[in-house]
Chains A and B, each alone.
Chain A
Amino acid sequence: MSRLSDDKLREIVARFPTTRDEDWKYTDLSQARDIASRWLDEKPATAASALQDDAAAITSTIDAAWLVIADGVLQTTQAPDGVSVDRVDDIPVGDSALAEFNAALVRDGIRIRVSGQVERPIGLLLLDSAEQTSVAQAYVEVEFQNGASGELIEYHVSRGDADQYANTIVTLHVSDAAIASHVRIQDRGRNHLQTSKTRVSLGKDARFSSASFDLGGGMVRNDIDIDIANTGAEVSFDGLYLAGDGQHLDNHTRVDHRVGPATSRQEYRGILNGRCRCVWNGKAIVHEGADGTDADQANHNLLLSEKAEIDAKPELEIYTDDVKCSHGTTVGQLDETALFYLRTRGLDRTAAMQVLTHAFAAGLVSRVPVEAARGAVSALIERRLEELAVTIEEDPS
Chain B
Amino acid sequence: MATETEQLESLVNRRYEHGFVTDIATESLPPGLDEDVVRAISARKNEPEWLLEWRLQAYRQWLEMEEPEWAHVHYPKIDYNAISYFAAPKSDEDRPKSLDEVDPKLLETYDKLGIPLHERARLAGVAVDAVFDSVSVATTFKEKLSEAGVIFCSFSEAVVEHPELVKKYLGSVVPRRDNFFAALNSAVFSDGSFVYIPKGVRCPMELSTYFRINAANTGQFERTLVVADEGSYVSYLEGCTAPMRDENQLHAAVVELVAMEDAEIKYSTVQNWYPGDEEGKGGIYNFVTKRGDCRGANSKISWTQVETGSAITWKYPSCLLRGANSVGEFYSVAVTNNLQQADTGTKMIHIGPNTSSTIVSKGISAGRAQQAYRGLVKVMPQAKGARNHTQCDSLLIGKDCGAHTFPYMEIRNPSAKVEHEATTSKISANQLFYCRQRGISEEDAVNMIVNGFCKEVFKELPMEFAVEAQALLNVSLEGAVG
Contacts and interface: CB of A to CB of B under 8 A. Distances in A.
A147 interface: no
B65 to A, nearest CB: 16
Interface string A1-27: 000000000000000000000100000
Nearest to A397: B414
Contacts of A99: none
A383 interface: no
A327 B405 contact: yes
A315 B405 contact: yes
B410 A327 contact: no
Nearest to A328: B421
A329 interface: yes
Nearest to B393: A326
B322 to A, nearest CB: 20
Contacts, number: 117
A313 B378 CA distance: 12
A183 interface: no
B473 interface: no
A385 B399 CA distance: 47
B418 A314 contact: no
Contacts of B420: 312, 314, 327-330
B10 interface: no
A315 B414 contact: no
Given A321-B397, A333-B414, A397-B414, A314 B422 contact: yes
B426 A313 contact: no
Interface in B202-257: none
Contacts of B417: 330-333
Contacts of B397: 321
Contact of B409 (A322, A329, A333): A329
Contact of B401 (A321, A326, A332): A321
B398 interface: yes
Contact of B399 (A307, A317, A321, A328): A321
A22 B72 CA distance: 13
B336 to A, nearest CB: 13
Contact of B424 (A22, A309, A316): A316
Interface residues on B, range: 35 or more
The main secondary structure of chain A at its interface with chain B is: strand
A90 B70 CA distance: 37
Contacts of B403: 316, 318
Contact of B411 (A317, A318, A328, A331): A331
Interface string B381-418: 10000000000001011111111111111111111111
A307 B407 CA distance: 23
A324 B410 CA distance: 27
Nearest to B401: A321
Contact of A330 (B410, B418, B424): B418
Given A318-B396, A321-B396, A325-B424, A311 B409 contact: yes
A305 interface: yes
B419 interface: yes
A317 to B, nearest CB: 5
B406 A311 contact: no
A126 to B, nearest CB: 32
Interface of B: 70, 72, 381, 394, 396-426
Interface of A: 22, 288-289, 291, 301, 303-333, 397
Given A321-B426, A329-B409, A331-B417, 7 more contacts: A308-B412, A310-B410, A316-B404, A316-B405, A325-B424, A329-B418, A329-B419
9 contacts: A304-B414, A316-B422, A322-B399, A324-B425, A327-B421, A328-B419, A330-B418, A331-B417, A333-B414
Report the 6 A-B pairs with minimum CB-CB distance, sorted nearest first. Answer: A321-B396, A331-B418, A325-B424, A329-B420, A303-B414, A312-B409
